[in-house]
Structure 1
Amino acid sequence: MFGFHYRLERKAIGLVVGIILVASIGGIVEIAPLFTIHQTVEDAPDMRVYTPLEIAGRNIYMREGCYACHSQMIRTLRDEVERYGPYSLAVESKYDHPMLWGSKRTGPDLARVGGKYSDEWQVAHLVDPRSVVPESIMPAYDWLSRNRLKTDNLGEDLKALRTVGVPYSEDMIANASSDAHGQAAPDSKEAESVVTRYGKETSVRPFDGKPEELTEMDALVAYLQILGRLTDAAKKPVATAER
């Protein structure tokens, strides 16, 4: 074996051909599954898109680098499933651009944090992490409660996501700004329209506890509260989820 390798090293063309052959094998292994992606990704008829407010929250989540310390992918290991819940399915990230699976956990995985804690807990945790988790090393994000959320460009965000396959309608794009305000103000005239466009399962409430003003805290909490809840595919029997 080593003798063949030594002889191959003396022939430039042969070595180049060998390198190309070996690299091609790795490339095929990575690329081939993409040709059957529609057969390997689970079906989720109940899958819904992120609302404009949740998209705004996701943007803030990325802006503040939350993904660097929190992953959003539960592996099929027993200890992870017991701690975090059902392991993550590919379809649950269907509308995530970019993916935020992560590879480091300074803090816990957030794939199924939606609904695990109340809005009040989430706000308190972001304002002063150690007030609810004494051992936390997370920095405080209290200014999010003071920063008014900019919604003027949300329509452009939805339009950009539509170009990569997220099924936002023209109506959703045109009303993105008003829908963001309506989702955080249940008594407003825009609130009913949000439910009409995004479904009856859409959460409409003042996420930061202050319905009179739309803040970045509203958006981030709205995003955290929807994680793991865009579809119920992971809660179904394996045979059904993997059709």
Structure 2
Amino acid sequence: MFGIHYRLERKSITLVLAIMVVASIGGLIEIAPLFTIDETVETDPNMRVYTPLELAGRNIYIREGCYACHSQMIRTLQDDVDRYGHYSLAVESKYDHPMLWGSKRTGPDLARVGGKYSDAWQVAHLTNPRSVVPQSVMPKYRWLNTTELQTTYLGEHLKAQRDVGVPYTDAMIANAPADAVAQASPDGDTQGLVKRYGPATQVRLFDGDKRTVSEMDALVAYLQVLGKLSKAAQAPEPAGK
């Protein structure tokens, strides 16, 4: 075995050709499945985009490193499905930039946590995790309650998201700061928000405090929509799968 390798090393052209052959085999194995990707990836024409408030919450989720301990990708393993629900589908991450699938599970997977707990539970958990989960090792994020959400640049963020394929309209971009405030202000004017993002848009005091729109509002709004942007996982699977 080593004798063959040593002889190849003495013949550089032969060695280069052998490397090209091996690399081509590996490349073919990786590239070939892409030709059938349209048959394997689900579609959902009714999938909605993140609202500005939810997108701001996602930014906070990334900023605070939540993805380092929580995955957002339920595997097809039976244990995963039994614990977290239907396995994750590619289409459900269609508008995620960056992807937050992850593989670290110091905490549970959050792919379908939306609606699993009340807003009050989420606020209590983020403020002091051990108040609701005594064995939790998660740090406290109580400052989110008192930190006002900065909405000034949300329009620019939506515009950047549109540049990578998220179908935000000009009206969504222009009204992003106002829509973020409106979603956490149920007593305000929310008609424009609902018109732009659809009747499924959750509008309420996510942090329970109507005095200001906080970072807690945004993060809870994001958590409560995880797994709810698409109904593809609820659709029956085609026969033969």
Instruction: Mark yes or no: TM-score above 0.5.
Output: yes
Distance 2:144 2:67 in 1: 17
Distance 2:30 2:144 in 1: 41
Quote the residue 2:213 is aligned against. Answer: 214
Quote the residue 1:229 is aligned against. Answer: 228
Distance 1:212 1:198 in 2: 24
Quote the residue 1:202 is aligned against. Answer: 201
Give 3-state SS (helix, strand or coil) of 1:57's partner: helix
Give TM-score, length-normalised by structure 1. 0.94
Q: Which of 140-149 and 230-239 deviates more? A: 230-239
CA-to-partner distance for each residue in 1:154-209, whole Å, 9 max, x for gaps?
Answer: 111110110111000000000000000000001101x1211110000110001000
Look up the equivalent residue of 1:223 and give its one-letter code.
Y
CA-to-partner distance for each residue in 1:47-104, whole Å, 9 max, x for gaps?
Answer: 1100000000000000001000000000000000000000000000000000000011
Give 3-state SS (helix, strand or coil) of 1:200's partner: coil
CA contact (8 A) 1:60 1:216 kept: yes
Structure 1 unmatched runs, 5+: none
Look up the equivalent residue of 1:231 and give its one-letter code.
S
Look up the equivalent residue of 1:198 and give its one-letter code.
Y
> Superposition RMSD on alpha carbons, in Å?
1.5
Q: CA deviation at 1:35?
A: 4.1
Q: CA deviation at 1:41?
A: 1.3
Look up the equivalent residue of 1:93 and give its one-letter code.
S
Quote the residue 1:114 is aligned against. Answer: 114
Quote the residue 2:68 is aligned against. Answer: 68
Counting matched residue pairs gives: 240
Look up the equivalent residue of 1:219 and give its one-letter code.
A
Look up the equivalent residue of 2:10 and give its one-letter code.
R
Q: CA deviation at 1:8?
A: 1.8
Distance 2:174 2:41 in 1: 31
Distance 1:154 1:214 in 2: 14
Distance 2:37 2:224 in 1: 29
Give 3-state SS (helix, strand or coil) of 2:217's partner: helix
Distance 1:150 1:87 in 2: 34
Distance 1:32 1:216 in 2: 44
Distance 1:130 1:82 in 2: 25
Q: CA deviation at 1:16?
A: 2.0
Quote the residue 1:123 is aligned against. Answer: 123
- Aligned pairs for 1:87-236 (under 5 A) are 87-189=87-189, 191-236=190-235
Look up the equivalent residue of 1:90 and give its one-letter code.
A
Give 3-state SS (helix, strand or coil) of 1:161's partner: helix
Look up the equivalent residue of 1:201 and give its one-letter code.
A
CA contact (8 A) 1:52 1:158 kept: yes
CA contact (8 A) 1:120 1:208 kept: yes
Quote the residue 2:16 is aligned against. Answer: 16
Q: CA deviation at 1:46?
A: 2.0
Quote the residue 2:49 is aligned against. Answer: 49
